[in-house]
Amino acid sequence: MSNASNVLTFAPNGTVPPDPPVIGLEDVTNNKISLFWTPGFEGDSPITGFYLEFKEANASWDYTETVVDFYANETEGTIIEINPSTYNIRMFAKNSLGTSNASNVLTASSRCDVPVAPLKGGILAVFKRCLSHIRGLLSTLSELLMLSLKESPAIL
């Protein structure tokens, strides 16, 4: 007769890095994305800072466009001077014992407004990028409309 027992394993004190923060979008415009975050559990040592990575949505995280560092007491930030595109954004927390796993990944599309200065490829390239984003938005709106009509056919 075998007796199964539960075994609890405890990690030694001072070995747990922080949990990842939870990030959210605050505002998106043509050349900036503003976001906020809520720190997770700090682990066995106080959080010493955060860093944010962002990239174009179709790129690999291996080719992260940039990394932005934040102090431990900061809970909001803005990515500036970006081109109109769709971006993936994630964040990590740091403490003296290590770095958290990646946070939730946000996807944000910066809007296409009239550029203040000529961009690479000129106005035609900007116009084509804007059209591409508008097509995507129209497709999403069309799908949402079709779903709502299926759920409430009496609207017609």
- pLDDT in single tens digits along all 156 residues of the chain: 444 445 444 445 668 899 999 999 988 887 888 899 999 999 999 999 999 998 888 888 887 756 788 999 999 988 887 788 888 999 999 999 999 999 999 998 876 654 444 444 444 455 555 555 566 666 666 666 676 666 665 554
For domain 1-111, give its CATH number from 2.102.10.10, 3.30.43.10, 2.60.40.10, 3.10.100.10: 2.60.40.10
For residue 107 the two structure tokens come to 């996807």
Structure confidence at residue 119 (pLDDT): 44
Structure confidence at residue 39 (pLDDT): 95
Cβ atoms 48, 94 nearer than 8 A: yes
Give the bridge partners for 106, in sequence order.
89
What are the residue ranges spanned by the domains of the chain? 1-111, 114-156
Instruction: Write the burial class of residue 30 (CB in 10 Å: 0-12 exposed, 13-18 middle, 19+ buried).
Output: middle
* Exposure on the CB side of residue 78, measured as CA atoms within 13 A: 10
Cβ atoms 107, 54 nearer than 8 A: no
